[in-house]
């Protein structure tokens, strides 16, 4: 059976809900600016990132980790917007709120290579990762638990929600490409993606 069964919720957010969420995210980004993390290989990622919540995901001197403060401002992350927490409550099936809302910004040409979300600790893996897409459509690729296994892809549109839980929680996934400028939610084009995670470092 496909890992996709039941996990992709196309059109979960209507246009008004998407616009309201973007306004809340812009307020977050004003306080916690987007940064371009540099990988362990010394290469800047094409995606720009920031976070909301108790913890944010950062790369510090090539090491991936969760931090209580923004890497440039040194300040705590802003709270996760209510509209985002509402999505988590509706789809996660998890009794507690997420600790981290990672905010990814894809400009023209940005992509994300196949990876697993694997920095949340064993207890964190028990909860699903919930992803929200806003703006331009993108080709999302998902495989299995092993690198190099078979993959399938799907186009994620603005307002779509994906739940990566159970056997899919530690599956490889990534963004092949963004159809830059094909959406009409964000003036000037681009894609915002949110991933909500429960983080319980071992
Ligand atoms: O942009 C996406 O849809 C996926 C983002 C992602 O996999 C991540 O931030 O870990
Ligand atoms: Fe991911």
ipTM: 0.99
Q: What residue numbers does the annotated binding site cover?
A: 57, 64-66, 104-106, 115, 117, 119, 147, 173, 191-197
What tens digit of pLDDT does each residue of 85-129 get?
999 999 999 999 999 999 999 999 999 999 999 999 999 999 999
Model-level pTM? Answer: 0.97
Quick check: 4 pLDDT over 80?
no
Q: Which atom of ligand 1 is nearest to the CA of 47?
A: 1
What tens digit of pLDDT does each residue of 70-95 get?
999 999 999 999 999 999 999 999 99
Residue 116 Cα to ligand 2 midpoint, Å, equals 6
Q: Domain boundaries in the chain?
A: 8-197
Q: What residue numbers does the annotated binding site for substrate cover?
A: 57, 64-66, 119, 147
Across 175-188, average pLDDT? 98
Report whether residue 57 contacts ligand 1, using a CB cutoff of 6 Å: no
Report whether residue 117 contacts ligand 1, using a CB cutoff of 6 Å: yes
In 3D space, the residue among 187, 94, 88 whose CA is nearest the CA of residue 136 turns out to be 187
CATH class of 8-197: mainly beta
Instruction: Give the ligand at the shortest distance from the Cα of 174.
Output: 1
Query: Cα separation of 88 and 132, whole Å?
Result: 10
Report whether residue 193 contacts ligand 1, using a CB cutoff of 6 Å: yes
What DSSP character marks residue 5? Answer: T
What are the tokens at 127?
Answer: 């909860």
Q: How many CB atoms lie within 10 A of CB 17?
A: 15
Quick check: 40 pLDDT over 90?
no
Quick check: 1 pLDDT over 50?
no
């Amino acid at each position: 059976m496909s890992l996709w069964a039941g996990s992709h919720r196309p059109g979960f957010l209507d246009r008004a809900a998407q616009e309201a969420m973007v306004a809340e995210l812009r307020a977050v980004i004003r306080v916690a600016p987007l940064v371009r993390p540099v990988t362990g290989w010394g290469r800047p990622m094409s995606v720009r990132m920031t976070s909301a919540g108790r913890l944010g995901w950062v790369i510090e001197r090539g090491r991936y980790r969760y931090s209580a403060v923004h890497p440039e401002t040194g300040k705590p992350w802003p709270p996760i917007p209510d509209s985002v927490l509402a999505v988590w409550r509706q789809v996660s099936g998890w009794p507690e709120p997420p600790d981290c809302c990672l905010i990814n910004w894809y400009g023209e040409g940005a992509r994300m290579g196949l990876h697993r979300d694997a920095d949340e600790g064993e207890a964190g893996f028990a909860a699903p990762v919930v992803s929200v897409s806003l703006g331009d459509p993108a080709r999302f690729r998902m495989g299995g638990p092993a690198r190099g296994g078979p993959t399938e892809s799907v186009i994620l549109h603005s307002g779509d929600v994906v739940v990566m839980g159970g056997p899919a929680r530690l599956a490889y996934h990534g963004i092949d490409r963004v159809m830059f400028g094909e959406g009409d939610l964000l003036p000037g084009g681009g894609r915002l993606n949110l991933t909500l995670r429960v983080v319980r470092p071992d």
